[in-house]
Amino acid sequence: MSVGSGQPHPRTLREVSETLGPEPSWAPYDRSRNTPLSAVLDYVAGSLQREPVLIWVNGGSPAVLALTGLPDPVAIWSTRHLELSGTLRELVVDRRLEERMRRELARRTILTVVAELALRMGARDAAARSVLLAIGGDVVRPQVTVAMDLEPSAQDEAYVTLWSFAIAHEFGHHVPAGADPPDSVLTGAVTEAFQRMPALAGESAVIATLLDQVRADPEHRNRPHRLRRELVADGFAVETVIEAAGRIMKAGGRTPRPGFLLHELCLAHYQIGLVERCASMARSLARGEIASWEDLQALAGISIRSQFVLGAAAHLLGDGSERWEAAVGAMVDDISAGVGVVDSGLADAMLAVAQRSSDGQLVSVARLRLRDPMRRALVRQQTTAFSRLARQMVTPADDDLLATVIFDVLELTA
Ligand SMILES: [Zn+2]
């Protein structure tokens, strides 16, 4: 325990170092700096009654995670996760682009992320195919970039939530979970989540198989004890963001607007869920499976959690009036429209992966697309993280698909 010392315990730092490995550069976030993030961590310290340690990773895997069982409560956060959350947020809310383009951009972004995650899992072929499928799409547009520190003028509900929801969720994993909601409620919620999915309407045999998967694995993500831990962390994140937004915006002479904050909380939760679904897709591909079983399981857990986040945020931010309830309903409809477009992009990505076109075909299509100089520049930008990682893993002597992609296809963009 390092309360008062202001320094993480050496064992904490050793464990972080082992978890992250030698590749990315990282450091504990310096809370003495007067930044909005410090304001978030101050609030977390008060709630946990312990000094939180935020490990700030430059680049690396697009990950955010908690390390428990250490002398300090730790959350690890990479700049890649922040960037990715910003990009996904834009895809949901940016209505300047027509729907077809946003859907295609979502497909491409998701495939690029899946490629990178698959590569980190050692699945070279799956990674190479995913990146080729991403390049083979139609629409181009520069990637969204997130400013790496908050300007006071930009400290609105959207930015505070983007910067604090994910880390607050991870620190929420340091809150003891208790026994609420009870197992029976959560088991029922999982069954209902499958029954509500349009893709599973009338598919009782498929639903039964999905439920068997949960029962057969004591550590399955949709077992009650694991769902409960996520709900506790989500609840902690909602409270933290609301408090932090109040403090941070007050410093700039502003007060958070409840409807805007509710909107951002729901979006932030959707983004986290989307990154999780990319990770489960990459895991399936790494095992040589089609992604749909894993994704349906991920989707069930995420939909239970989204309902909870919406309820908790609406309760904490609203006055329970009819006017507020109507505003919440309108906001949910609005987000659902944007989310529907990105979810369609995700479905397109899964379909592309499942279609099993030959490696040769994928390579020729990608080559054709990259003849256009504009597209080459954009592809280079979008695949920077993937290429950097892949270059460390292949040599010119390799003759697999990944080597072809790096030395032959993407080299075109150099
Ligand atoms: Zn979590």
Residue-by-residue DSSP string for 128-186: HHHHHHHHTSS---PPP---SS--GGG-SHHHHHHHHHHHHHHHHTTS--TT-S-HHHH
The number of residues making up the chain comes to 414
- Distance (Å) from CA 229 to ligand 1 centroid: 7
Dist. CA 291–CA 284, nearest whole Å: 5
- Distance (Å) from CA 17 to ligand 1 centroid: 21
Q: What is the pLDDT of residue 224?
A: 95
Q: What is the pLDDT of residue 142?
A: 47
In a domain, 15, yes or no: yes
Q: Domain of 191?
A: 10-81+145-318
- Distance (Å) from CA 291 to ligand 1 centroid: 21
- Distance (Å) from CA 292 to ligand 1 centroid: 22
End-to-end CA distance of the chain: 49
Dist. CA 340–CA 345, nearest whole Å: 9
Dist. CA 160–CA 87, nearest whole Å: 16
- Distance (Å) from CA 231 to ligand 1 centroid: 8
- Distance (Å) from CA 62 to ligand 1 centroid: 15
- Distance (Å) from CA 14 to ligand 1 centroid: 22
Tell me, what amino acid is at 342? V
- Distance (Å) from CA 227 to ligand 1 centroid: 9
In a domain, 346, yes or no: no
In a domain, 69, yes or no: yes
**Three-class DSSP labels, 114-130:** HHHHHHHCCCHHHHHHH
CB 312 within 8 A of CB 234: yes
- Distance (Å) from CA 226 to ligand 1 centroid: 9
Q: What is the pLDDT of residue 5?
A: 46
- Distance (Å) from CA 173 to ligand 1 centroid: 7
- Distance (Å) from CA 169 to ligand 1 centroid: 6
- Per-residue pLDDT of the chain in tens (414 residues, 90 and over written 9): 334 446 899 999 999 999 988 878 899 999 888 888 899 999 999 999 999 999 999 888 888 899 999 999 999 999 888 888 888 888 888 877 788 888 888 999 999 999 999 998 999 999 999 999 998 876 555 455 555 554 555 678 988 999 899 999 999 999 988 888 999 999 999 999 999 988 888 899 999 999 999 999 999 999 999 999 999 999 999 999 999 999 999 988 899 999 999 999 999 999 989 988 898 889 888 888 876 788 889 999 999 999 999 999 999 999 989 999 999 999 999 899 889 999 999 988 988 888 878 999 999 989 888 888 888 887 888 888 888 889 888 988 898 999 999 988 887 544
- Distance (Å) from CA 399 to ligand 1 centroid: 39
Q: What is the pLDDT of residue 154?
A: 65
- Distance (Å) from CA 122 to ligand 1 centroid: 24
- Distance (Å) from CA 368 to ligand 1 centroid: 41
- Distance (Å) from CA 248 to ligand 1 centroid: 24
In a domain, 388, yes or no: no
Q: What is the pLDDT of residue 198?
A: 84
Place of tokens 């309407």: 201
Q: Number of folded domains in the chain? A: 1
CB 82 within 8 A of CB 275: no
In a domain, 238, yes or no: yes
- Distance (Å) from CA 130 to ligand 1 centroid: 26
In a domain, 235, yes or no: yes
In a domain, 149, yes or no: yes
In a domain, 158, yes or no: yes
3-state secondary structure of 411: helix
- Distance (Å) from CA 138 to ligand 1 centroid: 35
Put residue 155 in one of left, alpha, beta given phi > 0 → left and psi -120 to 50 → alpha: beta
